[in-house]
Chains A and B, each alone.
Chain A
């Protein structure tokens, strides 16, 4: 009888561990470090920012009449511990840092399509992290991506 209770107890113990998918884990900031070893996550993409700028080159060339003309876009990419894309958030602000929507929301759709398809992400700690991509809009064009 005692053995049965022990087996039930062990089963209950393991059932409490839960089953969280890779994308449901909490996203550590890309700049932070792992808790115990204090190793930087070092989230990055193969080819670094050169690859990122190349990926956005077509939209940079085509979007030349952006309204409002000046502002900033931040894409917050959530990547699982293996570097696979999970989801993203976006922040669009004008030159006074007030919330806005460039081209009535159309620009962000184009940008998010590209960012969601970026491949080659990796990190050094097998941790789910987020990464920030920033775009600067100046005089109606995408002036910088960094």
Chain B
């Protein structure tokens, strides 16, 4: 019995030593990280740093917290120091976070001019797709169609972002070209059968054409595929759809018979 408690005591002792050792290590490491962060903050906030990446990284959490006045001060400095590296990101931020279409376009166009014969991809998205979204946001649907088609031409039909087709459909719809809208949505569905935005778009286009039957069929298809919708935890997309609007549209269709 005594031996048993002796062993238990040794085991507890070793575990305690390990815990204390880990605690000391974590504390030392934590202090080093804090010191690095303080020095980084000092360099960036005083604008003494000459590293564009430091300004860009520092701006991220500030902008994500909603303080775009402060965040963009640092992001602007990053662009000033290295426009090729950071113009795309700034344009993307202006589009996604603020829906500042005009300034986003300025950034995208400037970036494009700096990289001739190269198709840029700001924050991983094709530059023409993003420009298309900007023009869509500005309600310049003719120009948006041009950009989305350019994107599809560059990326090829089966590699381009499928939402290019959704946007083409939306643009044609807004211009009153309902049959063209349906064709564009169908192109998207050829790439992805669960493209719920395309089904909803087709439902609305068929409704405008007076084809209530097809409108009902397509809104139901959109409804059962809503889990496939385009969504992002950070931002609402310009073409994002919601189950509430699908249900409201379906109810209106049912009222019409």
Contacts and interface: CB of A to CB of B under 8 A. Distances in A.
Interface of A: 29-31, 40, 42, 47-51, 72, 74-76, 89, 91, 93, 95, 97-99, 130, 132, 134, 136, 144, 146
B68 A29 contact: no
Contacts of B234: 31
Contacts of B64: 29, 31
A125 to B, nearest CB: 13
Interface residues of B, number: 19
B233 A42 contact: yes
Contacts of B244: 47-48, 50-51
Interface residue SS majority, chain B: loop
Given A31-B233, A42-B233, A146-B236, A49 B66 contact: no
B72 A97 contact: yes
Nearest to A93: B69
A50 B245 contact: yes
A74 B236 CA distance: 14
B99 A49 contact: no
9 contacts: A31-B64, A31-B233, A72-B68, A72-B98, A72-B100, A75-B66, A97-B69, A134-B99, A136-B98
B233 A74 contact: no
A29 B99 CA distance: 21
Interface in B46-82: 64-69, 72
Interface string B234-248: 111000101011000
Nearest 6 CB-CB pairings of A with B = A74-B66, A50-B244, A146-B236, A76-B66, A31-B233, A97-B72
Interface of B: 64-69, 72, 97-100, 233-236, 240, 242, 244-245
A125 B125 CA distance: 31
Contacts of A75: 66
Q: Which of B66, B67, B99, B236 has the most C-beta atoms of chain A within 10 angstroms of its own C-beta?
A: B66
Contacts of A30: 233
A72 B96 CA distance: 13
B66 A144 contact: no
Given A51-B244, A134-B98, A136-B100, 10 more contacts: A42-B233, A50-B242, A72-B68, A72-B98, A75-B66, A89-B66, A130-B65, A132-B66, A136-B98, A136-B99
Contacts of B240: 49
B40 to A, nearest CB: 20
Contact of B242 (A42, A48, A89, A130): A48
Contacts of A98: 69
A27 to B, nearest CB: 10
Given A72-B100, A134-B98, A40 B233 contact: yes
